[in-house]
Amino acid sequence: MGEMTAFRAKVRGRVQGVKYRAFTQHHAVRLGISGCVRNLRDGSVQVDAEGDRIRLEQLLDILRKGPPGARVDGVETAWVEYTGQHRDFTVTI
């Protein structure tokens, strides 16, 4: 396994009401990434993810595309220290 790290991303665009959170969870689980995804009041989606850096970068590429029906205008990403606090990847309300 490579370098363990984490990020917090804010995804802007038409990302609520288009199954973006379920899409994110599906791909995170497939990649072996832990964390959570939730809608924000401003219409964006926040993704907190932990895992192998290469797999996290793959997830970011996926987040930039989004599911059918979504329109991603931008993904602001802050890399943060890995804490290991997440055991799986959940959708939070």
Active-site hit among 21, 30, 55, 71: 21
Task: Please confirm, yes or no, whether 21 is among the known catalytic residues.
Answer: yes
The Cα 45–Cα 54 span in angstroms is 22
Task: Please confirm, yes or no, whether 39 is among the known catalytic residues.
Answer: yes
Residue type, 84: G
Active-site hit among 8, 14, 38, 39: 39
Nearest to 2 by CA among 35, 33, 48, 36: 33
Q: Which residues are catalytic?
A: 21, 39
